[in-house]
Structure 1
Amino acid sequence: MGNVDLLSSVLAKTGDVVEGVRTDQLGLPTPCDTYDVEALVNHIVGWLQVFEAGRHDRSYEGDAKDYRCGADPAGEFRSAAAGLVAGWEEHGFDGQVGVTGGKMPAEQVFSMTVIEFLTHGWDLAVATGQPVPFTEQEAEEVLARAEATLPPKFRGEGMPFAPIVPVAEGASAVDRMVAFMGREPGARPESSGPESS
């Protein structure tokens, strides 16, 4: 799968999960301990706009952690997703891309992007009782990027990423991917809501 196809597919599926969130689910917990559903949606949409601005050599105005969605989070997500995909198509994968004040190699930023949105798409789907939409091929490709991008020094208490969760031999690529990102593949947050089982 080509880079643009991978990104486009992951973002389209994550956008569908964002659209599937009901208003009565906004206060539910998620596998990402620091966020409830509403905060995770804000995080997802805000950071997508950061990545979109960077790929177009613009500075994102403000701080993504302060971003709050309007009445149509899925629409905001899809608009930024279309702009981001167009940016990669136009500018390619060479050179540097600016994100949050610094510049990094374009391929590294791309890897960060697909890792971010597959992982949080999974978080949001699990939290709201939606089917996890990502394919094994997508998960394998994103996992390979995650393994090459996230060194052990960034894991553990006080670090951005949790330790890798062990999985059984023969686990699916999706399970191996989220376990690499510190999630329990079979876990479901408590209080997932009446229609979320």
Structure 2
Amino acid sequence: MSEVDLLSGVLSKTGDVIEGVGADQLSLPTPCDDYDVEALIHHIVGWLLVFEAGAQGRSHDADAANHRCGADPAREFRTAAVGVVAGWEKYGFDRQVTALSGSLPGETVFGMTLMEYLTHGWDLAVATGQPIPYTDQEAAAVLTRAEATLQPQYRGENMPFGPAVPVGEDASVVDRLVAFLGRRPFPAP
């Protein structure tokens, strides 16, 4: 599977999870402690707009943290996802990409995008009782990137990631990924 195919698959499945959220589920808690379902959807879409701009070689001037989706968040997400994939296809990975508060290597931003959308898609699926759509192959590719790039200073209280959660040797690759990123797989080991 190519890098772009991997990203396309993860984003497509995350879009499906967003589409599967019911209006009566928006206030449910998620495994991502800072967000209920509705806030997490706003976060997911807002940040995808940042990643889309970066993949396309632009900067994104709006504050992703304050993004509010319109009436069809899944459509907003899918539209931005098409732009993300097209940007990586057109411009490749061997370049600097504007994201967050500066410029980062393309491979780093690409890996961040994969981690963000597989993990938050998992968060939404768990919170809303949907099946986890990601394959072991997708999760293994994302876990490899996460293990190579996630530095300890980004873990802990008030940080983007919690401490890694121990899992059993028989844990699925998806569970190992989310545990590495600080989530407790469900059901808990």
What amino acid does structure 2 have at the position aligned with 1:110?
F
Partner of 1:132: 132
Partner of 1:92: 92
Partner of 1:148: 148
Show CA shifts across 1:61-97 (max 9, x none): 2100000000000000000000100000000010100
Partner of 1:26: 26
Deviation of 1:154 after TM superposition, in Å, equals: 1.5
Secondary structure at 2:125 match in 1: helix
Partner of 2:48: 48
Q: In 1, Cα distance between the equivalents of 2:158 and 2:69?
A: 28
Is the 8 Å Cα contact of residues 52 and 84 (structure 1) preserved in structure 2? yes
Q: In 2, Cα distance between the equivalents of 1:101 and 1:29?
A: 29
Unaligned runs of at least 5 residues, structure 1: 189-197
Secondary structure at 1:6 match in 2: helix
Deviation of 1:187 after TM superposition, in Å, equals: 4.6
Q: In 2, Cα distance between the equivalents of 1:168 and 1:140?
A: 16
Overall identity of the aligned pairs, in %: 68
Q: In 2, Cα distance between the equivalents of 1:8 and 1:92?
A: 14
More deviation, 6-15/154-163: 154-163
Structure with more relative contact order (C-alpha pairs < 8 Å, separation 6 or more)? 1
What amino acid does structure 2 have at the position aligned with 1:140?
A
What amino acid does structure 1 have at the position aligned with 2:177?
M
Deviation of 1:160 after TM superposition, in Å, equals: 2.0
Partner of 2:17: 17
Is the 8 Å Cα contact of residues 57 and 87 (structure 2) preserved in structure 1? no
Asked whether 1:175 is paired with 2:175, we answer yes
Q: In 2, Cα distance between the equivalents of 1:39 and 1:157?
A: 20
Q: In 2, Cα distance between the equivalents of 1:158 and 1:20?
A: 30
Q: In 1, Cα distance between the equivalents of 2:42 and 2:119?
A: 15
**Which of structure 1's runs of 4+ aligned residues deviate more than 6 A?**
none
Partner of 2:69: 69
Deviation of 1:58 after TM superposition, in Å, equals: 1.4
TM-score by length of 1: 0.93
Secondary structure at 1:112 match in 2: helix
Q: In 1, Cα distance between the equivalents of 2:150 and 2:17?
A: 25
C-alpha RMSD of matched pairs (Å): 1.0
Partner of 2:80: 80
TM-score by length of 2: 0.97
Assess, with a 3 A threshold, how the Cα gap between structure 1 residues 29 and 187 changes in structure 2: closer, same or farther: farther
Is the 8 Å Cα contact of residues 60 and 100 (structure 1) preserved in structure 2? no
Q: In 2, Cα distance between the equivalents of 1:153 and 1:116?
A: 18
